[in-house]
Amino acid sequence: MGNSLLGNSGSLRFPWRVQLGTSASINLSTRVNNTGLDGRLRETWTLKYGINESTCELNLTRIMGKNGNFYQVDFELRDNDSYFSSMIARAETNFLHISSLCKEYGWFESEFGLVKANTTIDHQRGGVTETKVYWYGSGNKRGLVVLECKKNSRKEEHYSVATLAHYFAYYSMIGFNGGSEIDIGLSVVAKLRPFNGKLDVKVEGPDQHPASSLFEMFHEVYKEVKWKPTMCRHCDARGMGSNSGGLVMNNYSNYIMAFKRNFYQ
């Protein structure tokens, strides 16, 4: 992934906040609620990005039963012009069930948004990977949600593992005569799998990237309907141990136009 904004801290104190320059901030908080007569416990992890007048809020809620084992995760994205939600729950002992409001994979609403789905089959091992991509945004801001679900075989109804990734990128020049610029790219990835009758969830991020790398990645992921973290040039360069500081924003307008062409076609 990109540069971790949490550093090496093993235990953060909440609420947690980091300022990115003069125009952007990240706020991280948690809350615990008891809901319903069944005694279920809900713990919600909220991550909120703020850049000038633009905001983006991610809510990841894990739901636990009376025995203390948590069996379901709800994901919700609220942006200025987009909304996405999805539910991932343990099915039986070793599988996952994914649904949301009678929509396959997730509920997505956006004034300016694109959705694509793809299924790939590993003929050698028999595994199946289902990928759904949500590309949204307006103005200088773009976002990408990727939901990747894997089955051990085509015969299985439920999934063995799921990955949910969200990327957010914003770029803007402030003034043309030596003025500063806003170049923000952020990501969070949640990996889910059943484990010993429970639901195991690992969250990576928030991580920081150059906006240029993410704009390029959004276009590539939507075109191919395939995803892996190293499709971000910044992450790929870090993985190879090289310095990615030379990336520039000269192709920004190309990726904005690519989004508009896909949206209005």
How far is the C-alpha of 247 from the C-alpha of 252, rounded, in Å?
Answer: 12
How far is the C-alpha of 236 from the C-alpha of 2, rounded, in Å?
Answer: 9
Q: What are the tens digits of pLDDT across the range 222-252?
A: 999 999 999 998 887 776 433 333 333 334 4
Q: What is the chain's mean pLDDT, rounded?
A: 77
Using CA atoms, how far residue 187 sits from 124, 169, 232, in Å, is 32, 9, 11
Using CA atoms, how far residue 142 sits from 118, 172, 185, in Å, is 21, 12, 10
pLDDT at 1 > cutoff 50 = yes
The model carries a pTM of: 0.80
128 vs 37, residue with greater confidence: 128
Using CA atoms, how far residue 253 sits from 121, 185, 215, 216, in Å, is 35, 16, 10, 11
**What's the residue count for the chain?**
265
Q: Does residue 97 come out as left (phi exceeding 0), alpha (psi in the -120 to 50 range) or beta?
A: beta
pLDDT at 100 > cutoff 60 = no
How far is the C-alpha of 80 from the C-alpha of 139, rounded, in Å?
Answer: 11
Q: What are the tens digits of pLDDT across the range 130-167?
A: 999 999 887 788 999 999 999 999 888 889 999 999 99
How far is the C-alpha of 133 from the C-alpha of 165, rounded, in Å?
Answer: 10
How far is the C-alpha of 31 from the C-alpha of 61, rounded, in Å?
Answer: 9
